[in-house]
Amino acid sequence: MYNQAMPNTYTIQKDLQDRLDSTLIRYKGIPYKVRVKLDDDGNTVLFGYRMTNTRASKPDVRISPDDPDLDISMLEAMYINFKYGNEEYEHPQRACWLTRGTQKHYKSATYTQYMTLKDIQGSISSNYTPDQVFWNATTEANILGQYPSVEGQLEIMKAMRRTEYEVAVAQRVALKRETIGLIKIYIDTHIVGWIDPDTNQVKITNDDRRWAINRILKPLGFKL
């Protein structure tokens, strides 16, 4: 999730290098990792690489620092889906909570060294770093707001046998299937309810916040 868009105000080459080099910006709504370089004419240009361009051989776009479509706002927090291990695991996937760290930030835009990776319930993950889970097509899709459907994921979970499984279905919402079949619902790393695997009916655990929880879950297709 981002705050509102932030235009770039840096014009000096050193400032651009110090503040934006190796960060994730958005250009025309698409996230790009940028490198600040000089073009053949000696002009400072942002070379943008899609998150799927892991080899970074050629830039996908060249951006002028004063382009009005350049957005250097910082990613605040969101769930991302991350596949771990290798395909010998039946369901090698986790829902990770990616959030901005509390340290002082010198870089503008999103810089992975300033991000903290946590598990679905907000505990800091020691197994992976933000860089390991960030630069891939799935995270790019999640940043763009593209997630698996709730209905489709519930069907997958119902077909499992004694398997733990996690999946983010929105930037603020994730599901976790316990090995016994119980499906928990998380919003912003907090458990807010569970799903009856037989009926797909959501059971909210906090009546005082039911109206707010319903407002978040209903557009995603949960059966409330």
pLDDT, tens only, 89-146: 455 678 999 998 877 778 999 999 899 999 999 998 767 788 888 888 999 999 999 9
Q: How confident is the model at residue 189 (pLDDT cuts 50, 70, 90)?
A: very high
Residue that the structure tokens 């603020």 belong to: 172
Listed residues 23, 49, 71: the one ending a domain: 71
Mean pLDDT of 43-51: 94
Listed residues 52, 71, 90: the one ending a domain: 71
Q: Are residues 45 and 126 in the same domain?
A: no
Answer whether residue 7 is part of any domain.
Answer: no
Q: What angle do CA 100, 71, 149 make, to 5 degrees?
A: 65
Mean pLDDT of 13-35: 95
Structural domain total, the chain: 2
- Cβ atoms of 67 and 60 closer than 8 Å: no
Mean pLDDT of 46-64: 88
Tokens representing 163 are: 């398997």
Q: Are residues 66 and 134 in the same domain?
A: no
Q: Are residues 187 and 85 in the same domain?
A: yes
**Is it the case that residue 160 has pLDDT exceeding 90?**
no
- Whole-number pLDDT of residue 85: 57
Q: Are residues 39 and 104 in the same domain?
A: no
Q: Are residues 199 and 158 in the same domain?
A: yes
Answer whether residue 183 is part of any domain.
Answer: yes
Which residues constitute the domain of residue 23?
Answer: 13-71
Q: Are residues 47 and 148 in the same domain?
A: no
Tokens representing 67 are: 């382009």
Please tell me the pTM assigned to this model: 0.90
CA–CA distance, 136 with 123 (Å, rounded to integer)? 23
Answer whether residue 84 is part of any domain.
Answer: yes
Listed residues 71, 94, 121: the one ending a domain: 71
**Is it the case that residue 209 has pLDDT exceeding 50?**
yes
Q: Are residues 182 and 141 in the same domain?
A: yes
Q: Are residues 30 and 138 in the same domain?
A: no
Q: Are residues 116 and 199 in the same domain?
A: yes
